[in-house]
Amino acid sequence: MLGMTDASGGAAPRAIVHIDGDAFFASCEQATHPEWRGRAVITGKERGIVSAASYEAKARGVSRGTPLWDVKKIIPDAIIVPSDYETYSLFSKRMFEIMRRFTSEVEEYSIDEGFCDITGLDRPMGCSYEEIVRRMKRAIESELGITVSAGLSCTKTLAKVGSKWKKPSGLTVIPREGISKFLSALPVGKVWGLGPATAHRCIGLGLATAQDFAAQDEKFIRCHFARPQWETWRELNGLPTFPLETELKDTYNSIGKSRTFTPPSTDREFVFAQLLKNLENACIKARRHHLAARGLVVYLRRQDFRHDVTETALDRATAFPMELTATLRQLFGSVYRPRTEYRATGVVLTGLVPQDAVQLSIFEPPAEMRKMEKLYAAMDQLAATMGKHCVFSAAAAAAHGTPQHILDRGNVPQRKLGRLKGETRRRHLRLPVMPGGAV
């Protein structure tokens, strides 16, 4: 049985599935370019490092983060393409739509993986839980042209263990009576939820495998670890602890936006323009969710990958870039180093609160605030009809008017090379483009 008994002794049968896309970005590229099947496909050309590698590339020693010049040495005939996140997102949405055909209880954990609860569906569907997962997996693979691996067990953590067990295109069931067998072969550092620091602590305590960790009594776990590790311990023992987050995320504690550009630049105004564009993007998202920020973090990434970071609290919460530009420039001036090459910028809006909870100080004229609200309401309406960033700050013009990357890294995905009827540069139909422009 997949189910177990909860801590109170009551029956708590669960059937949790984890679906995990296999080399998802590279698989999407192979699905839209069938002639690339069986070949080493690499995405990340715009970054200069591997974002995703097909299993054919992994088999020849390429992994995520490998510099592309090393890839060309290892696999001279590798197909290296810029990441097409728009198409990957469409594949992701379709994958979750297929999962929801079987159950409404679906958690979109990331772009290429998700959980679903199929508890109790064996009787109405007239088949076992394993067969339900097999049908789900088969539908995803046949309709999307990619492969996914699946894990089925009584908790989210064990289901995730199962999906990693046989890749690619595996299906692993971890029943109650088989938990220890699987965990005995799993290094403790490979457990979802136990990070490197926790794994190091486990090794120091003589716990080398996930089963060593799971086999300890509760008193030992509470003595040596914090609550998150205790929750993972429960999950590994078949006690459902982590709920499925089936609601789409619409609340945030912070919102960050960053941008990498090549070649790196020493031009002060260009780097600031990139930073201001980050701020505009972050504020657009904050306004979309009716939020305002009480704090601002700014960081610059140098060519040597070191970061210069600073932050400040705001006098009043806001999501309007015009109100934040002076503060942004002050923060930028405090960390910018002349003649230093910068390759990326980023901002984080912190301390987010509902926009309608923002209060003016006694020294601020309400009329000015209403003008600002009307101005950005009009800009957001223009963006909805004309495309994002159809209106932007003049100080950000250098970032809006130049490509993010130039030379080889400036190549763009095929999806952006042409437009279908009704499309604009920023607004595309929700269809991935196949070779030759077919959809």
Catalytic residues: 113
Task: Compute the residue count for the chain.
Answer: 439
Cβ 319 vs Cβ 372: under 8 Å: no
Cβ 272 vs Cβ 395: under 8 Å: yes
**For residue 21, which phi and psi values (nearest 5 degrees)?**
-65, 140
Residues 151 and 174: their CA atoms lie apart, in Å, by 8
Q: How many CA atoms lie within 13 A of 126 on its CB side?
A: 0
Q: How many CA atoms lie within 13 A of 339 on its CB side?
A: 0
Residues 105 and 102: their CA atoms lie apart, in Å, by 9
Residues 82 and 409: their CA atoms lie apart, in Å, by 8
Query: CA-CA distances (angstroms) from residue 168 to 21, 153, 411?
Result: 9, 19, 29
For the chain, first and last CA: distance in Å? 44
Please list the residues that pair with 1 across neighbouring strands: none
Residues 311 and 347: their CA atoms lie apart, in Å, by 9
Q: How many CA atoms lie within 13 A of 208 on its CB side?
A: 2
Residue 395: which residues within 8 A CB-CB, separation 6 or more? 269, 272, 273, 276, 325
Exposed/middle/buried for residue 242 (C-beta within 10 Å: 0-12, 13-18, 19+): middle
Cβ 431 vs Cβ 438: under 8 Å: no
Residues 414 and 66: their CA atoms lie apart, in Å, by 23
Residues 4 and 119: their CA atoms lie apart, in Å, by 12
Cβ 290 vs Cβ 354: under 8 Å: yes
